[in-house]
């Protein structure tokens, strides 16, 4: 998991974002203006910046013009939704641009895409006696290799990326297998049953009544 700097001057939005970053296992720092942001960047190793555009004193676009931090990807989070603004954001070097209001799951998905593109080291997840190496697509349980089907692995990856968040069956289908999937949502139940059995995660993958599932992980 990554260390993310959230630069957002609206406290409720900052709190909502950081609460969900914590749920899925990311570390985070908060900044409410460019000066705080710069101070944190000088003191901490940051993997990704979520940067609001309309900040006090110096807006996010101007900060990017003056202080673009080489090697640290940036996602703009902003209410500025015009095509000209989006083009400006990407021309300044942003890795993504998301417009408020947004669904938190969409933000988490975009964060995962940018992190996969920029973080070179192996990303993993360990819970109990299960060790998962996402980039290598290898899973070990008590040191023994566990074989998963492609769809089981894709579902597992989505659960890990959204750990501690309840996901509906429809959302799991959408995130794991794409918008074009037209199968019965109960297919999720079949794959969850297999994951629980193969990983010994009967208690770790919780059924959320009348909704779907949640992967519970230590925070």
3-119 sits in which CATH class? alpha beta
Q: How confident is the model at residue 179 (pLDDT cuts 50, 70, 90)?
A: low
Q: Which residues of 137-166 are buried (b: 16+ CB within 10 A; e: fewer)?
A: eebebeeeebebeeebbbbbbbbbbbbbbe
Range(s) of the chain covered by CATH 3.40.50.2300? 3-119
Q: Are the C-beta atoms of residues 7 and 49 closer than 8 Å to each other?
A: yes
Q: Is residue 97 over pLDDT 90?
A: yes
Range(s) of the chain covered by CATH 1.10.10.10? 125-215
Q: Is residue 119 over pLDDT 90?
A: no
In this prediction, residue 70 carries a pLDDT of: 67
pTM metric for this prediction: 0.72
User: If one looks up domain 125-215 in CATH, what number appears?
Assistant: 1.10.10.10
Residue of 208 and 63 predicted with greater confidence: 208
């Amino acid at each position: 998991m990554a260390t993310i700097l959230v630069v957002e001057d609206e406290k409720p939005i900052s709190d909502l974002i950081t609460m969900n970053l914590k749920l899925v296992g990311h570390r985070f720092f908060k900044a409410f203006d460019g000066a705080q942001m710069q101070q944190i960047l000088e003191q901490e190793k940051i993997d990704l910046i979520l940067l609001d555009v309309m900040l006090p004193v110096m807006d996010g676009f101007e900060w990017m013009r003056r202080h673009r931090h080489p090697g640290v990807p940036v996602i703009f989070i902003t209410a500025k939704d015009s095509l000209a603004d989006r083009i400006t954001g990407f021309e300044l070097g942003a890795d993504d641009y998301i417009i408020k209001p947004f669904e938190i799951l969409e933000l988490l998905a975009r964060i995962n895409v940018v992190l996969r593109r920029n973080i070179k080291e192996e990303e993993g997840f360990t819970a109990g006696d299960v060790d998962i190496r996402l980039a290598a697509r290898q899973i070990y349980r008590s040191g023994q290799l566990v074989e998963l089907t492609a769809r089981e692995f894709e579902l597992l990856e989505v659960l890990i990326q959204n750990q501690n968040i309840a996901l509906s069956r429809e959302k799991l289908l959408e995130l794991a297998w794409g918008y074009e999937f037209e199968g019965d949502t109960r297919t999720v139940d079949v794959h969850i049953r297999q994951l629980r059995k193969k990983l010994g995660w009967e208690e770790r993958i919780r059924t959320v009544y009348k909704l779907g599932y949640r992967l519970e992980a230590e925070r």
